[in-house]
A and B are shown apart, each in its own frame.
Chain A
């Protein structure tokens, strides 16, 4: 590229740069405007509510940090946040572990039908999210598929079904895991499929066992995909509220449910709701930056 540029006459080079400079804002203008109008401005409005610069109550209102102070010094909302973090971490870590062998098989087994199998993996996405969640009620309920099977086998009596299957933290994590599994499998599959097979051949030639080749080559090189997959699940599940409200019951109540309830239930408390929403956004932004740096560093090392 440098050689080509050096051979170009200066006037031609200037024209080319000008073309680039003009086309860049044109290309980026629309998405940036979209981002500003439908992401940054709404966040600004939510921030204004959190500082009481905007309020649903009529009359004058002044800037205050009271909402933030109450949030950071009260234990209830932060405890709920940590509960949600733990649930999301468990879901994300578990399905990464479950999805890795699946993606490994699809990417590296050499099967001709790998794209058909991949399609089967993502097939549930062709149905409604709500239906997929509701279907679990049929499976997990006291009279559901699992309990009916247990009654039939005599392992449990109908008077003592496994109650904790539904309306519990377990139910929320199970359903979230099911919903997000394909999102985890896909990035790992992509990173494994783009792996340079010659490295594995070289390792074998040099006497490495399959396990050693996996530990020393495959796993480290697929880690960017693994971390991306982890983040793909962790971020949305942290703010999840639909699944907990359908299958969570009292124990599965999450931080996202609290945000929704502060806005619409009981008595509108948009200030506290905005504080909670911004806090979540901040945590997610920090996590994204940290993971991006990490992934960037790993890519540079490669």
Chain B
């Protein structure tokens, strides 16, 4: 309904009028009057209506407006219309069930899955002028078979946050999440990546591609250690409440969680484990068959600007792929190692990656929680 209204209300400029006339002429010669109407309608309908964005809570009109303000200013008749995803699995379920956003934001570990799923199409980097300012390692991580399927945006690390006045780690290791001394004071993250972390800690050579026996070992290990975890958090606010109130002292956490807890005057350390942290990068992806690809490019471009990037860093505490942006907080600058463009990749960190047997991992993780 709103699209129809937008279509009617759309003003036709002089150049647009000439294009329509040319199309109508060509169609009249080739296909008669009905083809004329169809061609005119197709041209008008192209790139019209509101841009449909599926994104995470906080990145839409619920607080994230500053990051796409320049897009709204340039395309007031095609403002983004948001739907929300709670995670990639949720987005996949919705898209497979028939929802058709123009673009959405999975994280880097899902690039290959979506690129090969037939659900998305590559971007045209030439239409994104801010692309030159984006971290080249993250840009490369958004590629599959040489095509740019993901435009990197927000990023951060999975590592360990702990209260230095309460916790005394024996080593800088992921093992702190499984330390018997702190039973009932530990928070895990509700994600199948916990199996990757267990794999890293147990020394499996390829934690993202564990064999059946390795995965079984990781799963059994997590089942055995689950009694130590008081909380398995799925939203940051949930973690902040528990950590801030002293209900947990050790957590699987992101850099922003460290910043938030420091702001609460807690004595906290954001530990980079010797097995290395895991870096994640949000990737805008363009849905195959999107009727608004140019608008989607304009939206991704707005998000990639230095102004948007700085706003994200200052207000949400995540990193941004735009290397020119610098946060006001020196704490965050340090936590994210923003002066090091290779911070997200070897040898500093493991960049999160495709899990070929994601469904098997997911089931194994669900069984850990249910056990």
Contact = CB atoms under 8 A, between A and B. Distances in A.
A269 B359 contact: yes
Interface string B345-371: 000000000000011011101110111
A268 interface: yes
B276 interface: no
B369 A258 contact: yes
A56 interface: yes
Contacts of B227: 250
B230 interface: yes
Contacts of A56: 92-93, 96-97
B369 A261 contact: yes
B371 A266 contact: no
B241 A266 contact: no
A249 B89 CA distance: 22
Nearest to B95: A56
Chain B interface size band reads 35 or more
Interface residues of A, number: 34
Nearest to A165: B247
Contact of A249 (B230, B246, B371): B230
A249 B93 contact: no
Nearest to A78: B370
B192 interface: yes
A269 B227 CA distance: 26
B192 A267 contact: yes
A245 B371 CA distance: 16
A266 B247 contact: no
Contacts of A166: 247
B287 to A, nearest CB: 15
6 contacts: A58-B96, A58-B118, A163-B184, A253-B369, A265-B234, A272-B363
Given A142-B245, A266-B366, 18 more contacts: A56-B92, A56-B93, A58-B118, A76-B370, A141-B241, A167-B242, A249-B231, A253-B232, A253-B369, A261-B369, A263-B93, A264-B86, A264-B93, A265-B90, A266-B365, A267-B192, A268-B89, A269-B363
Interface of A: 56-58, 76-77, 79-80, 137, 141-144, 161, 163-164, 166-167, 245, 249-250, 253, 257-258, 261-270, 272
Shortest Cβ-Cβ A-B pairs, 3 listed: A266-B362, A267-B362, A268-B93
